[in-house]
Structure formats: structure tokens, C-alpha cells
Amino acid sequence: MFHVEQFTHGQSMDSSLNFDIIVLGGGHAGVEAAWIANQFGVRVALITIPGVGLASAPCNPAIGGVGKGQVVREIDALGGLMPRLADLSGIQFRTLNESKGYAVQSTRVQIDKQVYSDSAEEIIGKSSISVIRDRIDSIEADENFGFILKSKNHNYIGRKLVVTTGTFLNGKLHTGDVVTPGGRFETEKSAGLGELFSGIKTLKKRFKTGTPPRIKRESINFGIMEPQPSDPVTDNFHFGSEEGTRTLEQVNCYLTRTNEETLGLIRANKERSPIFNGQIQGIGPRYCPSIEDKAFRYPDRHTHHVFVEPEGLNLDTFYPNGISTSLPKEVQEEFLRTIPGLEQAEIAIYGYAVEYDVVDTLYLSNTLEHQEVSGLFFAGQVCGTSGYEEAAGQGLVAGANAALSILGKKPLVLPRNKSYIGVMVEDLCTNERDEPYRLFTARSENRLFIREDNTILRLYPFRKALGLSEPVDNYNEDFIKKFNILEKVCDSTFYLPNLRSEKLFDELGLGSIKEKISLAEVLQRSQVDPVVKLNELLKRSGMNFSNALVRAVAISVKYRGYIERENFENQSLNKLEDKCIDFHSILENKNLSFECKLRIEKVKPTTFGQLKRIEGIRPATLAFVAASL
Amino acid sequence: MKFSEGPIVAVSTSTSSKAALGIVRVSGFDNLDWLYKLTGKSQDKTINPRYAYFSSFQKEGGELIDEGIFTFFKGPKSFTGENLVEFSLHGNPLLLDQFVDYLHESFQFSRAKPGEFSFRALKNKKLNLTQVEGLDLILNANSAFGLKAGGQGLSNELYEDYLRLRSEFLEIRACIELLIDFAEDVGEEEIFQKMDRHLSVFKELIENLYKRSQGNLSHLLTPQVSLVGATNAGKSTLFNKLLNRERAIVSDIHGTTRDFISEYLYLDGHNFQIIDTAGLRETDEKIERVGIEQSLKINKDSFFKILVVNPFDEISFDPEGITFDAIVFTHSDLDGFEEAKYKFKSGPMGAILESGSIGAGVGNGPMGAIFESGPMGAKIESGPIGPTYSLEDYILMKYQELISKEPVPIKRHRYVISDIYDRFYEFSGTWYNTKDMAVISSLCSRVSVSIDELMGIVSSQEVLDHIFENFCIGK
């Protein structure tokens, strides 16, 4: 059971070290948790290890991506900080999946790591959040006070505690056969969760993630690599950033490729690879394999993309995306130099893998509060996710709920059919982690609806319910008002089949006009790009709306029919999805496979939908449960 | 529909006629106390699972109900997956009812509703939905095909086909997810090639299943052979001949058969329902007209249609809408038969000979299956080409051809397969015509939902109700 140590009153307590909420860990999850909690007017402390800037980016220098871009915009609509930091430090903006239809498009921003972290320091520093740089040795839960965090010289008391310690729980770094304790390069190690808390269950398996070597700028031959420029049209993330403007100078990324020589070298050093010689036991993400994984698991492939990305405008290092590795230093050097453009490459920081402990998120509720220890929240990589965006999304949910629970208000729970953050949180607390969790659009069942463009539409009721009054709240309200107006314009503007309309349709490439047709119907035509055309039509009639708004309306109108049909068809499906099941009675069945039972027992699904989403559940089991509903 | 919890009891064999044996089953009890009481066995004698015991069965006061064999199956190794006892008693329906009544009253075992034993087997994962549906077929099959198809359902052959369909579609879904989420890592060209490959494999699978789910299901499960023709053409004579007994009343009065008569005809292990219909003629009589309308409907629904013609008669019915697989000319023993037959063929009725769907698909021309029968026996003459076949052979050949296509025998599956087929074509058409991945993936999910439904991943109570309520003796 959970270890409770009685707080002794004799000990001297500095009252300034008394907080409503303590956030432990100053990474992306922690910063977001502190930032949102602080908006509720409660006393928030952000405790982080000395020597590292807030919201620093220890791996790739980018924010956003497919599925993740949606999360960043969701954070923006909910009043978070990440989108603002990304815009302030963005040195390249791109729209991914540009040719694949509006609904699956996502934004990704290459960031200047230094500017990103500096901006976080500055903004958090100006807020009323207390930033404390200290090393916590132990945590105790106290019935009267909440949580007591002890460092060498201080005791910190928080009524609620949000743990966002990333990869620092029993972190261990590997480069070849060199193993050092720690959560990341050149930082101190932290204790394991077991040492901090005796009652919190971590997963039996450890997770592993890795990062590539950083290359010195002057040693790269950019001339022979394929440049990838920034896209000037891509919208900023933050509502407050002016459309079409960038804070920093925009720069290129570069594309090069591995070849047979590269892979041959890696394959020849299999015995020296910690992942393959047994030195690393942790489970790495399949979707983000190291170069060793790529070389050994896919022997038929002879080349892989390597994106060479700047880590900052003034930083000396480049990040070669796609070749994370924990091979010995000399092997890293050798294989790197077989890659075109990197023949003379000099390594500033060697690649490494990190193994760490992960909290068993099946013990978390959908507010990210621990079910056995009231007032204790977890968010970020400590929950077994990977990615800055996933961490930030959870941080926001955990931070908001910590504050809401202090104020006795209704918790913030985002439904999975309305947001990617909702998808992630539900996946986390209803499914056992087999590997680090990353968001893909494939994890959502409502991809047509959960888009970047309509984020405010999806999430403003949830932000509004928090009862706060910040610039974002005014912006959201205004956006919704204008959205409704413009949508009405689309539905109530009609074109009659006459010479004037024919000319207009001809000029704009809207197709033919044979009968009375509404503007909305025109935008739904398959040959019409709804965003471009709605913009043009509005400009002609002298109406002025922001790009973001026109985009949201145009795309919403375009997919309206599909979404309605999907909703209609999902109704009967959802009836089944929402049906309550009694997992105890399922477990009692002697004829179910052992493996299915284990998984069901672990997850304790309460609805058929949750059962269905458990990985590895066989169709026969589902059919069996469905039949007894 | 609500099934009960706890022990259930029912007669498992037919209760409509007397037989040497009758079986009663009890399922879902916790312990054997009741069985010791019923058999009067002493508690220290063990009742071993899967052993057959001869015993008497008596009421509490010692009054004997019957003697017989009982076998105890310990769950989960039983049909229902629960503890189950099977009694073989004497087959008098009255006795069996008394036995069940006694168990119900003395031990509070619920009387099982139709389908309840199978439902428990499904619930306890002893059978999957396809198997239950197969069992339904076996229990209710009127044809050898139905039996066999039910057996396939039970032995999981169909389910295996569906599993293949499902796993192939997973590959297709994976390609779409790759394109959306991982295009930068994998490279689009490679994904497109993979997709093409899987689309064509899936297309083949679903087209095959689709073909197998087309056609008239009742033709398969209860194939009807109908005799139609003008009044007094000799239909009833032929009917009796085929049955080899005097079933229908035969007379030379027009309109003797006013209602249809149906009997079963066993041919080479298959069971055909053979129907003698009311003769067709223009009439003002109300009752006869109803009979004639019925004849036309039976003709339309039949699997094998035999048109019976007396070539000496003037035809007095409207041939419009009549189709047939074979034509039988009667009265071949009379003088001038050939002439009359020739006259008939070239007369006003001749045209229907050309349009009829003649032949059992064995390469006969449209005039192929022409038979002639006299009053004294089915003197049968084959078509101009090929070996001599009897009328029965033609019926069988047509039936064999039908079942050689391995049709899907379960109605629910037919609907769902046709759904998958339509949805797949909408999806693949969109795949080739647009680049909008969200739309494509939305259509792709629709296919997945239907495939899940085929696997039985549906709760729709109607589906289960439909299955279990259609059990006749499937207790």
C-alpha cells in the first residue's frame, strides 16, 4: 500500500514553501501544467533540476507534425503555452500532407531550441509561478497537508502534486558499452519512482528512446544535399501571432540518405550495439526506430531518409533526423561519414539511448489523477508517451485538473471524438503500454472531424467551462461568432444560372452552373479547392475575414456531408461502443484465451468500445462479448 | 428476448411423434445433488464425467418415471460449456414432457426457450456466431446441401474465409494509415505499390464471396420442383409417377386439382419439394382463379419448373410469364402424337419453347429437355444431343451445378457480404479518383465496420433474436 509518513510539526517550515500545486519537472509537460494551473489563481510552484532551462528540447528540434500539429492547436484553444513558444522560436514552417486533402494536413515548425527555452523562461518568469531549481530526494503523502517534497535543504508542501519527470526515473544512458546514470545528456540522475514513492506502480518493462549524434555546422557540406525551404503560407500556431508573419529568420532543412555502405558498417558492428547485444532491455518505439533497428529489422532496405535540421539560428549543431543510435562513438563517426554531405562530419554530442521507468497509466483516471493516491497527477514521458506535444497535452490536462480539484470544480475531460488530447488520455488510462505512445491520426476514429482548422470549434466549450477570462477566451468567442456568420453566408448565398454567374464560375474555375446553387454546394464540388475559392469569392465581394477563419469555414462546409454520414452510421456503432460490459463476468469464462484474459484483467474495460480498443483482443472474443450484451 | 440464468432443461429430440428414444438435457447446474436424488444413487458413488450410466429415475416418493441412460458432461467440456447431463429415455412425448415437468417443479430448473442451449454455447465461447448459424442450418435443413453447409459453418470453414477477408483488409487499412502518418518515413511510391497489391487480392476475395452469396437461398435450402400446365394436361399423373404412388386424384375432368399438393421427393440424397399445381385455364370461377394465381406464383418461385403439355389440347391459358426448365409432352401413346407435338411447336405456344430457360445447364439447346410421357409410364426421350437423361437427372444436374458454387447459406451473411461488396467498391473507386485521404479513410472504415459485422462483432439484438428464435428443435 501507499506509504504514508506522518508529517512532524516540530520541523521548521518556511511558509513561502507552501503551495496549492507543485509541479515536479520543468519540461514540456511541467511547463504546461504550471501555466494552466496558474491561470486559476492558485499558488503554483514549478520545481526543476538545476542547470537545465525550462521546456528544453533534448531530442529533435521541431514542434508539431502529423497528429501532433492538431495537439498543439488544441493546446492553443485551451489556453496553453506551447503554441506561443513554437511561434516565437520557429525557423521553418511546413504543412505536412499538403496533397492529401485538408482533413489530414498538419503543421510542423522547426524551432530554435535556445530561443524556445529562453522564451519559456521569460514568460514563466514574468508570471506568478514560483520556479524552484532544486533536487527532490523524497516525496511523502500527508493526509492533512497533501504532499511533502524534501530536498537536501528544503521541504516543499503542495496540496496537489503533478509529476512530470520525463525520462528521469531510474534513467540510464547508453553509448556503446559506456553506461551512465541520468535522464539525458549531461544532467544529474534522479531517483526511481520506487524510491520517491513506495506505493506507485510502474510498468514492469522499462522503455527506451534514443537520439542521434549532433553534427557541427561547419563540418557539413550542404551543397550536395537537397534543401527544404520554409513554407510562407503555413499558419502560425498561436492565436496571438499575426497571420503571415514570422518572429525569426526562416532557414532550410536538408535531405540526404543512408546507403549500403552506411548500413553495412552498422550491420558489421551488431555485437557492439547495446540494443542488440542485450545491454539495453527497454522497449523502444516501433514508429521511431534507431538506425540499428532499421539496419537489422529490415535487411532488404538499402537506404533511408536523413533530414539534417538546424537546432537553432545561432547554435552550432545540426540534428540528423532518422539515425538515432547508441553505437560506440567511433562507429557513429564512421557510419555518419558514409552519408552524402556528411563526409567530413564532426560530432559535437554523440548519440545515445536512454532507458527509464514508466508509471503504469492504467492506475490513472481520465483526469490523469492517480486512482489510489488522491491529489497526485502524472503527465508526459513518465506516463510512457513520447514527443513534446503529447507531453504538453497531458501537462495541460493534469495541471488544469489539479487546479479544478482544489477549487472543487468539474474536471476537464476531453472526449475522444472531439480531440486528439482526449484520444491520448483515454488510450493511456484504458490500455496497457507495450511501447512508448505517440499520437497518430490513425488513433482517432473521427479523423474527418478532428482537424487543425476547426480546433476552436471543437474545444471552446471545454475552455469556456473552466470559467477563466484570458485573451484566449475573447479570441475563441469572437472566432465562434464569426464562424457562424460566415457559415451562414455560405448557406444563404445562391447563384442563379445567368450570364453573370457563368462568367464568375468560369473565371474562378468553379465548374458549370445549370441551376440555382448555394455557395456551400459550390465549395463541396470535388474540383473546387474550398479554401482558395472561398477566399477569392470573399475578396471579390469585399468581405474581410482572417485566413484561419476562412479555412475553418471552407473545410467544415466541404466535409459536412461526409461527417454527417459518418455520425449517422456511427450512431448504431456507438450504441455498441457505449454499452457497459462487466469484465468480471468475462473473466469468469473458462473458454477465453489466457492472453485475452490477462489483457482484459489489466485494463478493466467498462464499455465495449474500450474492450475493442485493447490491443491483441481477438475477433472471436469481441463477438463473444457482443453476443452476450 | 431474455434468456434465464441458472439451470435449464428441455427435450432435445422431436416431440411431435413417438420414437424409441427421446433425449432430455439439463445444463448450468452447480452440483450433482439433484441427480443423486433423481437416480436414487448413494452420494458416495461417484458419477464420472463422460461415462454412460444406466439408471432408473424416480420421484421423491419413489414413484418411477422411467429408466434410461444418463451421461454427465462437466463444464467447460460440454456443448454449452457448463455442467450438463443428457438423459436417454423412452421416446414417448408424453413421458418426456412429464420428465421435464418433474425436473422443473422439483429442482426449479427453467424450461429452456428455443435456442437457449445454443445461446449458452455461444455465450461460453463453445461456438462462434457462424457456428451457431451453421447449427441452425443443420437443425432446419431440408436439403442435403443445407446440412452440408451447416456442417461447414460448424467446422469453421466459412469463418476461416471471413478471417482471411478481414486480415487482408487490415493490410489495406495499414497502407492508408502509412500514407497519412508515415509518408515521410516510408516513401509514398512504396505504399502505393503495396496498396495496389492488396486491393487486387481483396477484390478477388470479396468478389468470390459476393458471387457465392447471390442467387435464391430458398432454392438451396428447400428446392421446389413445380408442375404447371393447362388443366387436364396430365400434371397429377406425372406427379404420382414421380412419387411412385397415387398421391393426387387423377380424373379426366378439367380442373380436378384446384389447390396445390406438395410432397417430398428424395433424389440421390437430396430432398426436393415437388408441387402439383392447379391447371391453368381461363375461368370465371372464383376459387379456381385463386388456385390458378397460386400456380403462377409457385412457378415463379420454383427452383425447377416443369411445363406439362397435352399436345392434343387447345391451349386456353395465357403463356405470358410462364418459364420452365423442362417441358413434358403427355399422351405419347396416342395416334398422331408426333403430328400433334409438331403442330404444338409451330403453333401459338411454340414461341415459349424458344424463350424458356430450358436445360439443366449441361449444354442442351433451348429445345433440349423435352420429355414425353404416356399414361402408362414415363416414356422419356432426351433432347437431340447427348446421352439419355431422365427428368430426375435434369433436376439433380441443375441442383448440383447450383451447389458446386459453394453458396453462402446464411441469410444474415448474405446481406452483410453484399454490404461489404458495395462499400468496398465505393471505397476503391474513391481511392483511384481522389487524393483526399480523410475521405478515403472514412470510406475505408465503413468497409471495416461491415467486415466486423460479418465476423459477428455486432450486438444488434435483432441478429441474435433472429437466429435464436428461428430454432425449431435447437434446444
* pLDDT tens column, B74-87: 988 999 889 999 99
Give, for A353, the enclosing helix (H) or strand (E): strand A352-356
CA angle B181, B182, B183 (to 5 degrees): 110
CB B294 within 8 A of CB B301: no
CB-based contact A442 B449, cutoff 8 Å: no
- Min CA distance, A86 vs chain B (Å)? 21
CB-based contact A96 B434, cutoff 8 Å: no
Closest C-alpha to B212, from B286, B149, B163: B149
Q: What pLDDT band is residue B173 in, cutting at 50, 70 and 90?
A: confident
Which of B446, B455, B456 is facing A569, going by the closest CB pair?
A: B446
Residue B126 in contact with partner chain A when CB distance is under 8 A: yes
Work out the average pLDDT over B289-293: 80
Q: Provide, as residue numbers in chain B, all residues whose Cβ is less than 8 Å from the Cβ of A526.
A: 434
Work out the average pLDDT over B95-120: 87
DSSP assignment string, B206-251: HHHHHHHT-S-HHHHHS-EEEEEEBTTSSHHHHHHHHHTS--S---
**What residues pair up with A43 in beta bridges, in sequence order?**
none
pLDDT of residue A565: 83
Q: Which of A590, A615, A625 to mutate to test the interface with B (most CBs of B within 10 A)?
A: A590
Gap between the Cα atoms of B170 and B386, Å rounded: 50
CB-based contact A590 B76, cutoff 8 Å: yes
CB-based contact A569 B458, cutoff 8 Å: no
- Min CA distance, B142 vs chain A (Å)? 27
pLDDT of residue A9: 40
pLDDT of residue B340: 77
CB-based contact B438 A579, cutoff 8 Å: no
Work out the average pLDDT over B229-258: 77
More confident residue, B223 or A482: A482
Gap between the Cα atoms of A12 and A1, Å rounded: 29
Residue A497 in contact with partner chain B when CB distance is under 8 A: no
* pLDDT tens column, A50-96: 888 999 998 999 999 999 999 999 999 999 999 999 999 999 999 99
B369 has pLDDT over 90: no
Gap between the Cα atoms of A391 and B418, Å rounded: 45
Least confident of A66-70, B114-118, B135-139: B135-139
Instruction: Give the mean pLDDT per block of 10 residues along chain A (629 residues).
Output: 38 67 96 98 94 92 95 98 98 93 93 97 96 90 87 92 89 87 67 66 83 96 95 93 92 95 92 86 81 86 92 96 93 95 95 91 93 93 94 98 97 93 92 84 86 96 96 97 96 94 92 93 92 93 90 95 80 69 77 74 80 71 67
- Min CA distance, B197 vs chain A (Å)? 19
What does R_g of chain A's alpha carbons equal in angstroms? 26
Q: Provide, as residue numbers in chain A, all residues whose Cβ is less than 8 Å from the Cβ of B182.
A: 287
- Min CA distance, A283 vs chain B (Å)? 20
Q: Provide, as residue numbers in chain B, all residues whose Cβ is less than 8 Å from the Cβ of A627.
A: 122-123, 129, 456, 459, 464
Residue B1 in contact with partner chain A when CB distance is under 8 A: no
Nearest CA in chain B to A255: B184
Residues 400-459 of B with CB under 8 A from A: 434-439, 441-442, 445-446, 449, 452, 455-459
Q: Provide, as residue numbers in chain A, all residues whose Cβ is less than 8 Å from the Cβ of B125.
A: 589, 591-592, 620-621, 624
Gap between the Cα atoms of A328 and A347, Å rounded: 13
pLDDT of residue A31: 98
CB-based contact A103 B437, cutoff 8 Å: yes
Gap between the Cα atoms of B164 and B160, Å rounded: 6
- Min CA distance, B405 vs chain A (Å)? 27
Residue A347 in contact with partner chain B when CB distance is under 8 A: no
- Min CA distance, B456 vs chain A (Å)? 5
CA angle B137, B139, B143 (to 5 degrees): 65
CB-based contact A626 B166, cutoff 8 Å: no
B216 has pLDDT over 90: no
pLDDT of residue B122: 75
DSSP A370: B
pLDDT of residue B1: 45
Work out the average pLDDT over B228-247: 80
ipTM: 0.78
